[in-house]
Structure 1
């Protein structure tokens, strides 16, 4: 779960278990999406950022897709190379995108919905490396976040994406335990047309209150994909309506997968 109200300047960072990226308002104004690190995963530790995912060249990769398989990533050095290589940069989102402030962080904290659907932050489990990057339209009308986490094993990554899926199905309304933010109409959406992933999870929602308690009208789409031990996530948010959020998030995560 990461965007500012379109035509307004960025303001502070989001909540999160890990000290790292600044808050949502910091990065690019109030963020409509509940980034997993800030869902105190959603994209937290960087309260306002969105995540980007990267692939590296340091690993031995055998074609995947036609019976291809990727060699397991065994150490932190190899994992860092992967996230840096797969992470999305502004140009990957399309024309007119620039770096957000903050732009990237390897201090990722995941936001998890508790029994009352309040987002609480925690660090990723068994993570070898993680990276998130934020980009936005130069006019601040759209914010894009990409995130990648390399877990130590497939099972841990599978548990992570299962949690994202469960939260979207269980909590139609969510709040942030560290601020006044509130999201409504949170729901699971179908992105099964995406190919090449071992698992997929996606959600959309409407942010109605920002971290300062002010009313906002921001809409987000968040797509999470797992390939083996690697978890990738993209989030797109804008004010007023969903627009092309889903298409943009799906296109972005497909690009990330192609680099893995």
Structure 2
């Protein structure tokens, strides 16, 4: 088992916060687009829990509509999670938050490649870690201007997970293995939901790592939400914590 701090999942559809200085712990998932489906280097990398908020087009009371970037930013800021939302043992990671969420996808060789975000009104991503640095987590919200773009991101994320059991970061030396889809309880109110798990075996410096992550992405209209949790040594309660975090984000829409 590695002595390095946990690292997050590969950047997901929303991408993952940039890794900070050591120590510390992949949206979303692996360089996935859509939010749907985080990458945090072993030096306090933040788990990419990229959550994408795509504003609904119909005028239901529970489906937000953003007619301007200012409204979209307010929505993203409100929905993204703060350290206290994860529990009393969590603190801000470094870096903590960003309003830039690049889209990551797996190429034909399963290398994670970053793509410029498109059709995005606003985005917010926040990363946290436990005080003892044994776990990292992230949440992401992306507000798209088109529901179809959000749906396509989720579909691409699912396809990448099924196709690539092993992934690596094309820009660094990070490598993930045993990447696979997992079943989690469906959250009422989401149009669709997808989840994956995996294990980072090499960090950004090419050193051995043993960081296990869970990444869950949900879509409501043109709103995408993503959470991820990573731990050293085992999955622990990653799945439960990521799902509870996604449910909290959904309740804020």
Question: What is the TM-score of this pair, normalised by structure 2?
Answer: 0.84
* Number of aligned residue pairs: 238
Contact 2:38–2:215, Cα closer than 8 Å, also in 1: no
Structure 1 gaps of 5+ residues are 65-69
Structure 2 CA distance for aligned equivalents of residues 239 and 256 of structure 1: 25
Contact 2:187–2:247, Cα closer than 8 Å, also in 1: yes
User: Which one of 118, 122, 141 corresponds to residue 125 of structure 1?
Assistant: 118
> Paired residue for 2:21?
26
Structure 1 CA distance for aligned equivalents of residues 194 and 200 of structure 2: 19
Asked whether 1:245 is paired with 2:228, we answer no
1:38, distance to aligned residue in structure 2 (A):
6.4
Q: Secondary structure at the match of 1:26?
A: coil
Are the structure 2 counterparts of residues 115 and 8 from structure 1 closer, same or farther at C-alpha, using a change threshold of 3 Å?
closer
Asked whether 1:36 is paired with 2:28, we answer yes
Structure 2 CA distance for aligned equivalents of residues 94 and 150 of structure 1: 26
1:128, distance to aligned residue in structure 2 (A):
0.4
- After the TM superposition, list the runs of 4 or more consecutive aligned residues in structure 1 that deviate by more than 6 angstroms: none
Q: Which digits, 9 at most, give the CA deviation of each residue in 1:151-209, with x for residues without a partner?
A: 00111110011111111111101011001111000000112432210011110001111
1:62, distance to aligned residue in structure 2 (A):
4.6
Structure 2 gaps of 5+ residues are none
Q: Which digits, 9 at most, give the CA deviation of each residue in 1:96-149, with x for residues without a partner?
A: 111001110001112100011000011222000111000111111111100010
User: Which one of 79, 85, 88 corresponds to residue 78 of structure 2?
Assistant: 85
Structure 2 CA distance for aligned equivalents of residues 6 and 238 of structure 1: 12
1:37, distance to aligned residue in structure 2 (A):
7.3
Q: CA RMSD in A?
A: 3.0
Structure 1 CA distance for aligned equivalents of residues 108 and 136 of structure 2: 29
1:71, distance to aligned residue in structure 2 (A):
4.4
> Paired residue for 1:137?
130
Q: Which digits, 9 at most, give the CA deviation of each residue in 1:231-252, with x for residues without a partner?
A: 1100000010001000000000
